[in-house]
A = this chain, B = another copy of it.
């Protein structure tokens, strides 16, 4: 579905959303722990997210990552597009070069419904909303 990088990215976004604000920045180490991701790997992903303006970063002492009000409005889809590109939108489920109405694979019409739902799911909900969920304590970003 999503690449490993993308899974980490989504979790990191939700994690930072929950733990930080403009005042308290959060470091790579803490993100890695909080999301069960390899530290160096998540560091690289955070860079990508930062370059894509999905999250803010501050260098130096007391630096780290944080999200402002607008960052919280990003959707999962924004994160997915930043990391995995638009392959969720364009890939054929049976591996044809592109998913299209003109050259549909046998499962295309059945898959179309699934895809529509999937896209709705990742576009509808914002990171901010998931942060709220996490606050309730009923959801988890890692095992244990």
Contacts and interface: CB of A to CB of B under 8 A. Distances in A.
Interface of A: 1-2, 4, 7-8, 10-11, 14, 76, 91, 93-97, 103-108, 110-111, 113-114, 117-118, 121, 124-125, 130, 133-134, 138-143
A2 B95 CA distance: 9
A7 B99 CA distance: 14
A84 to B, nearest CB: 12
A95 B76 CA distance: 15
A106 B141 contact: yes
B95 A139 contact: no
A106 B130 contact: yes
7 contacts: A7-B94, A10-B94, A10-B107, A11-B105, A105-B140, A114-B114, A114-B118
Nearest to A15: B106
Contact of A2 (B93, B97, B141): B93
Contacts of A140: 96, 103-105
A94 B143 contact: no
Contacts of A141: 94, 105-106
Contacts of A95: 4, 7-8, 11
Nearest to A113: B117
